[in-house]
Structures are given as structure tokens and as C-alpha cells.
Amino acid sequence: MIDQLAQKHPNISFISFADSILLKSNWTVRQHDGIEINYDYEPEAFIRLAKELNEIYQECLELRTYAVIAQGGNEYYEDNLLHISESKITYL
């Protein structure tokens, strides 16, 4: 079910750590150095995803979840440890 959810959100990486899932998006701002850039910053997507993940965990594992949502830069996008599986779900 998480694979299906991830497929609906191709701009968000789902990174699995045993019993935890880290969601990461790479976004751009409206303008940088005076050049117009497509705006794809949507932090509210994480609030919706937290709800959907909670529903999946309750249905499949009968467990409740919690979410920690933070905002930061995209400094580590080119990290050599990043591996994207064939199903396009990101794992470390």
C-alpha cells in the first residue's frame, strides 16, 4: 500500500528505516538570481501524506503513527548513499 501511495507522489522520496518512513521532497522557489523557476514547493502535501500513512498502518498493522514535519534546504540531493529501487521508492 505504501508503494501505491508513493507512486501517486513522484516528487516525494519515501525512505524506509525499519519501522520508520522518512518523506523528502526536492523543491524549487519561484525565483533564484533573478531567473523565473517553476514553483513546486508544497509543504501541505506532507500533512495529507501523514494522514494517509496513518490509515495504511492502522489497516495493515493495527498501529497508530505520528509525524514530525520539518522544513529545510535540499543540500543532500546528490548524496551517493541515495538509491532508488526499481519500484521508484527511495531506500538508503
- For the record, the C-alpha cell of 74 comes out as 535540499
**Number of domains forming the structure of the chain:** 1
Please, are residues 92 and 15 in contact by the beta-carbon 8 Å criterion? Answer: yes
Instruction: Note whether residue 77 is domain-resident.
Output: no
**Any domain includes 51:** yes
In a domain, 32, yes or no: no
pTM score? 0.64
Average per-residue pLDDT for the chain: 77
Ranges under pLDDT 50 in the chain: 91-92
- Asked if residue 36 is part of any domain, the answer here is no
Q: Which domain holds residue 12?
A: 1-20+46-71
Per the domain annotation, does 53 fall within a domain?
Answer: yes
How far apart are the C-alpha atoms of 89 and 46, rounded to whole Å?
16
Q: What is the pLDDT of residues 37-52, one digit of tens each?
A: 666 777 888 999 999 9
